[in-house]
A and B are shown apart, each in its own frame.
Chain A
């Protein structure tokens, strides 16, 4: 599974961090960081994160 974030769209709302804390985080400056290829056990959490992104910047591949 590959996580893709459209960084042109991403505005660091951080909703994904609540949905999938093992995959998404905000760094000290408040900007998004994420694990690009998380394990299969994170699939449902990443789906949730994609759902709750206010600007719909997250997608999954594979």
Chain B
């Protein structure tokens, strides 16, 4: 019997397994993950779940009935692989062979290597990626706790809003001049900062940190400006590292995730595709012709599902006897629409596309101090939209992404 091994038991691994079955693959499917849990939804961990129910049950994904015979090997990190001889080695020494492989190992938080207490929740230094991370953080949050958040991206700002709602004092420290500025652009980022401040979040921007203060336990941070901030809890939300070490030694481009073609097949450094090895989710760096031919990783919630549903049918076809089936499926370009949302205080931010590749931003609807839809343009082509509120209106713009702004005006007038 043929066997597909999926390394990574989160959303991308789950959707890949389900989609393999939907695509008619009848062989064995083994999903191997480093965490002890069945796949669960991570976005609530920085939002509502951090305020309420942090049980696995509350955030677990439903598994489609067609995937009930999938084997889940949980708590087993993969440490190495040999794609030529089709094996993956796990941390416990087990070697599993595969006919097809899907790499879905995702990200882990980047840590700061600076003087001070150890990078450990016990010392008050937290990250937020796993359910256990959220549980450990929650256990240290009390009304009146002084929480310093390093990083003012989406997760950093969500944490600031959530801990404020729990009665903590939140301060965001970031090297960027404005919160979420890469995604929102200067104008909207400045407005979102103003709204955060109105709710009590403080910002220390355009500065890094020099050291953590305290011995066994964190007592504060010293900024690059020399200022010292007292802290009971520090949350490091300064971006992520791709879990691709286990793919090293296979002549792949692992400079930023793993480089794939538009079919999501892993590419060698000379550009040859592995026929039965795919990447999905946060680590997949693939070209999206909806925008251009530049391969990009996209760390949005929608992408593990989209990429899983791209890779799995191609894998099923590649493992079948009809080679034309693969060619036919792969010749349809993969053009997923990145989508994300963020809830911060009473703000509902929703975005489609890739605003960060734009050269200009323009207000499409509403007003900066209220609800709005902002459009992001590159060479007069709409490459992204972001809304505060206006759920229905922003949805209407989704289908216009990738089109020149002129046709957009026709669509919406």
Residues of A with C-beta under 8 A to B196: none
The segment out of B97-105, B288-296, B388-396 that lies at the interface is B388-396
> With A11-B343, A47-B64, A50-B62 given, is the CB distance from A55 to B44 under 8 Å?
yes
Bound CA span A54–B341, Å: 9
Bound CA span A51–B302, Å: 10
How does the 8 Å CB contact mask read for A14-33 relative to B, with 1 for contact and 0 for none? 11011000000010101000
Q: Is the CB–CB distance between A18 and B350 below 8 Å?
A: no
Bound CA span A54–B390, Å: 17
Q: Is the CB–CB distance between B391 and A59 below 8 Å?
A: no
- Place the interface of chain B in its size category: 20 to 34
Residues of A with C-beta under 8 A to B389: 30
B116 within 8 A of A: no
Residues of B with C-beta under 8 A to A59: 62
Q: Is the CB–CB distance between B44 and A52 below 8 Å?
A: no
| Distance to closest chain A CB from B21 (angstroms) | 12
| Distance to closest chain B CB from A24 (angstroms) | 11
Partner pick for B395 among A14, A52, A54, CB 8 A cutoff: A14
Closest-by-CB residue of A relative to B18 is: A51
Bound CA span A55–B15, Å: 16
Q: Is the CB–CB distance between B302 and A52 below 8 Å?
A: yes
Q: Is the CB–CB distance between A26 and B392 below 8 Å?
A: yes
Closest-by-CB residue of B relative to A9 is: B48
Partner pick for A18 among B44, B59, B301, B398, CB 8 A cutoff: B398
Q: Is the CB–CB distance between B391 and A30 below 8 Å?
A: yes
Residues of B with C-beta under 8 A to A11: 343, 348
> With A13-B341, A17-B395, A51-B15 given, is the CB distance from A56 to B61 under 8 Å?
yes
**Most chain A CB neighbours (cut-off 10 Å) among B41, B44, B62, B350:** B62
Q: Is the CB–CB distance between B392 and A30 below 8 Å?
A: yes
| Distance to closest chain B CB from A21 (angstroms) | 11
Interface residues of B, dominant DSSP: mixed
| Distance to closest chain B CB from A26 (angstroms) | 5
How does the 8 Å CB contact mask read for A27-43 relative to B, with 1 for contact and 0 for none? 01010000000000000
Which B residues between 278 and 292 are near A, CB-CB below 8 angstroms? none
Which B residues between 368 and 410 are near A, CB-CB below 8 angstroms? 389-392, 395, 398
B43 within 8 A of A: yes
Q: Is the CB–CB distance between A30 and B64 below 8 Å?
A: no
| Distance to closest chain A CB from B116 (angstroms) | 36
How many A-B residue pairs have C-beta atoms within 8 angstroms? Tell me.
39
> With A18-B398, A55-B44, A59-B62 given, is the CB distance from A12 to B391 under 8 Å?
yes
B356 within 8 A of A: no
B128 within 8 A of A: no
Partner pick for B41 among A17, A47, A56, CB 8 A cutoff: A56
Q: Is the CB–CB distance between A14 and B64 below 8 Å?
A: no
Bound CA span A13–B301, Å: 13
B339 within 8 A of A: yes
Q: Is the CB–CB distance between B395 and A26 below 8 Å?
A: yes
Q: Is the CB–CB distance between B391 and A54 below 8 Å?
A: no
Q: Is the CB–CB distance between A13 and B350 below 8 Å?
A: yes
Closest-by-CB residue of A relative to B40 is: A56
How does the 8 Å CB contact mask read for B338-357 relative to A, with 1 for contact and 0 for none? 01010100001010000000
Residues of B with C-beta under 8 A to A30: 389-392
Residues of A with C-beta under 8 A to B339: 15
B268 within 8 A of A: no
Closest-by-CB residue of A relative to B308 is: A51
| Distance to closest chain B CB from A7 (angstroms) | 15
Closest-by-CB residue of A relative to B371 is: A30
| Distance to closest chain B CB from A10 (angstroms) | 12
| Distance to closest chain A CB from B17 (angstroms) | 13
Name 17 A/B residue pairs within 8 A (Cβ), A-sorted. Answer: A11-B348, A12-B391, A13-B350, A13-B391, A14-B395, A15-B339, A17-B395, A18-B398, A26-B395, A30-B390, A30-B391, A47-B64, A51-B305, A52-B302, A54-B43, A55-B41, A56-B61
- Other contacts beyond A26-B395, A30-B392, A56-B59: 18, CB < 8 A: A11-B343, A11-B348, A12-B391, A13-B341, A13-B350, A13-B391, A14-B392, A18-B395, A26-B391, A30-B391, A47-B64, A51-B15, A51-B305, A52-B302, A54-B41, A54-B43, A54-B301, A56-B62
Q: Which 6 A-B pairs have the closest CB atoms?
A: A30-B391, A30-B392, A26-B392, A14-B395, A14-B391, A12-B391
